[in-house]
Structures are given as structure tokens and as C-alpha cells.
Amino acid sequence: MATTELSPPLMQDNGHETLLEFDDNRSLIDLCGEYDRNLAQIETNLSVQIVRRGNILAVMGDVEPRALACSTLTELYLKLDAGRDIDEGEIAGTIRMGKSVKGRSSKAEARRGDGAFPADQIEMFKGSGSEIKTRKKTIEPRTEAQKAYVESLFKSELAFGIGPAGTGKTYLAVAVGVNMFINGHVDKIILSRPAVEAGERLGFLPGDMGEKVDPYMQPLYDALNDFLPAKLVSKLKEEKTIEIAPLAFMRGRTLSRAFVVLDEAQNATTMQMKMFLTRLGEGSRMVITGDRTQIDLPRGVPSGLRDAERILAGVKNVDFNYFTSKDVVRHALVAAIIEAYEADEAK
């Protein structure tokens, strides 16, 4: 990892290949990845060929994919300077954002040498401006829908994130909550889920009520531990500054100066949803996330998430953000699975 600020690579184009010259070999090694696996991922996704020649990467292929590959490599290289890890997800997100933003330049633009690619032919990755800084890592939206969602979370008192699994709805919401907490905008973080899966089986689990519902809250713990040191999470939980609790525990409370997340909201009933929404107090932010295709409520019981969409449509200061299989940022196979199920349901 470089210890001095990295400069964008020098770029030259001779008509059939683009050359990127990097000034820090150690960071270039990190950019390429073990056995050049990062380069291989970019080659596969953009149908280009990338050859390393010392501190130069030669990118070959058609004009547009070649330009996008160059902007992707430059953006990833500069992210190393910010301490970001270049992994499969980071690469996929950078490519995806680059494809969605055309004809815009950014900090990722390579320095142009003689015979450089014309700037107006390069699809440059535009920095989202939606970075979320937490104690352990910096998170950046990887799709346009995620970017709009994050911006909505920061500006709206009540925001919904609706879409399939793997689109980052809960993960990004918790990240924003941690960011707002460590910056003093809220005094506590409250994370909740309906414990619908428990039902009659809850009694068969060992321990008291808290220990019985903990397994259903685990995804929320996982997200928190990604952004805050484990010891700090434990301390804040003891102080009740961070609360992770089933939806039923919210009744009768007024949640002031808190960042509140209701996860898996498709499994809340209409009455539960109304109860939760009316807990919103002064200085608070509330986020509702859910997937309408994974409702586990008993047959005939309407989903509170569906009703909230209908009832709150058009209400001022309530934002609805929607995701599709194209926004899945887990394993690429997850998106394919979701699309296959959607196609089957459409028959």
C-alpha cells in the first residue's frame, strides 16, 4: 500500500491500445491482485485484454470498453490511496457505476500524454459523493439505485428501501446510521426486525427471551460489527446506546434523536407497521427495508410494507427507493437466481 498520495496514471492511446503508466509499483501490484486476478475480472466483464509491461498496463479492445476499462483501473488505483481494499465486489461496483455514467470526468481521469484518448470518448467513473465513513471502513454505493438510496437516507426523516435480497438495503442503512451516530447527529441506533420466523418454535429455543430472539437479529449484528469494533458494539449495547430488538419491543416508545431501522418489513402486519412508524420522534431518522417477494406472514394476513407503500404514497418527506436484480451486490449468481424466479413468476 502506498504511503504517499497517488497520482492518476499517465495515459496514451495509439489507436488500437491504450497505455496506462503508473508511478507506484507497489500499489500497481495491489491493483492487479494475486496472480492478476483483478485484471482478469475486468477483462471478463468488459471484453478487453490487459497486459502488464513493468509499470505499464496495456489495454486492448473496442473503443468504448477499452475506455471504461481504463477509467475503472484508474479509479481503483486511486482508491488504494484511501485505504480501500480492491476485491471482487469493489471491482464489480466500479465497473457498474462507470457503465451508468457517460461522458463525465472525475478524479479518476488519467493524465493525458501525447496521443491520449480524446476525453469525450472516455466513459469516466464519476465519484458518487455518497461515501459513508465508519470506524472500521468506508462504504461507497455500487449502483445508481444504491447511490440514490444513500442520499435519501441522509436527507429524509423517513425512507423506504424495497427490493430483492443482496441489494444492500439493510447494510447501507446500518452504515449510514453508524456514520450519523459517530458524527453526533443522533444519540442512539435502534435496529429491529419482526420475529415472524420464531412463531411457536421460539419456545423450543434455550435461554430467556433475549437469547431466543438473538438468532433472528444476527444479520443486524453482522452489519454493525462490519462498521464498529466488537468491543465498542458490546459497550454501546450495555449502555443502551445501540439496541437490537424484535419489532414487538417497540410498542409504547417514542424514539427521539435516534437512527431507527426496521428490517424485513414485509413480515410486519399493517397494525405493526403503523405502530412502528408512529414511534418516530424529534431529531430521528427512520428507515424501512423489505422484500415483497419474501413475505412469511400467515396466509390471508396482509403485509404492512405493501399497505405502507399504498397509504404513504405522495406523503411529503417520505422517500421510496426501489431495487431490482441489477442492484444485487452479492455473488453474481444471486442476481441470476433472482432473475430466474422473477421470470418463472411472470409465466
Report the CATH number at residue 193.
3.40.50.300
Q: Is residue 257 part of a domain?
A: yes
Based on the fold, state whether residues 106 and 254 are members of the same structural domain. Answer: no
Within this chain, do residues 104 and 141 fall inside the same structural domain, yes or no? no
Residues 87 and 140 occupy one common structural domain:
no
Q: Is residue 146 part of a domain?
A: yes
The pLDDT score that the predictor gives to residue 296 is: 86
Q: Mean pLDDT throughout 68-80?
A: 88
pLDDT of residue 284: 93
* Burial zone of 303 (CB within 10 Å; 0-12 exposed, 13-18 middle, 19+ buried): buried
Are residues 58 and 154 located together in one domain of the fold? Answer: no
| CB atoms near residue 340 (< 10 Å) | 11
Residues 215 and 336 both lie in one domain: yes
- Answer whether residue 148 is part of any domain: yes
266 and 321 assigned to the same domain: yes
Q: What is the pLDDT of residue 45?
A: 84
- What's the pLDDT score for residue 126? 33
Asked whether 72 and 91 are in contact (CB, 8 A), the reply is: yes
Which residues make beta-bridge pairs with 111?
A: 10
Q: Nine-digit cell at 174?
A: 446500518
CATH number of the domain enclosing 71: 3.30.1370.10
| Residue 126, domain member (yes or no) | no
Same domain for 309 and 267 = yes
* 143 and 96 assigned to the same domain: no
Phi and psi at 119, nearest 5°, equal -60, -35
Mean of all residue pLDDT scores within the chain: 82
In which residue are the cell numbers 403485509 written? 303
Contacts of 333 (CB under 8 A, 6+ apart): none
pTM of the predicted model, to two decimals? 0.68
Let me know whether 172 and 306 are in one domain. yes
Give the integer Cα–Cα distance in Å for 217 and 215.
5
Is residue 3, in this structure, part of any structural domain at all?
Answer: no
Looking at the structure, tell me whether residues 73 and 145 fall in a common domain. Answer: no
List own/partner pairs for 294-302 with CB under 8 A and 24 or more apart. 294/165, 294/264, 294/266, 295/266, 295/267, 296/196, 296/197, 296/266, 296/267, 297/196, 297/267, 297/269, 301/269, 302/269, 302/270
Residue ending a domain, choose from 60, 86, 121: 121
Domain boundary pick from 121, 141, 170: 121
User: Which domain does 35 fall in, by range?
Assistant: 10-121
324 shares a domain with 275: yes
Distance CA 122, CA 119 (A): 5
Answer with the one of 72, 97, 121 that is the final residue of a domain: 121
Q: Is residue 58 part of a domain?
A: yes
Angstrom distance (rounded) from CA 131 to CA 148:
12
117 within some domain: yes
Domain count of the fold of the chain = 2
Q: Is residue 307 part of a domain?
A: yes
* 10 has a pLDDT exceeding 70: yes
Q: How far is CA 155 from the centre of its chain?
A: 17
pLDDT exceeds 60 at position 147 = yes
Same domain, 98 and 228: no
Question: Taking 90 as the threshold, does the pLDDT of residue 93 lie above it?
Answer: no
Query: Do the Cβ atoms of 149 and 172 come closer than 8 Å?
Result: yes
What is the predicted pLDDT for the residue at 124?
31
pLDDT at 113: 55
| Tens-place pLDDT, residues 152-198 | 999 999 999 999 988 999 999 999 999 999 989 999 999 998 876 54
State how far the Cα of 20 lies from the Cα of 50, in Å rounded to an integer: 10
Highest mean pLDDT among 81-85, 140-144, 174-178: 174-178
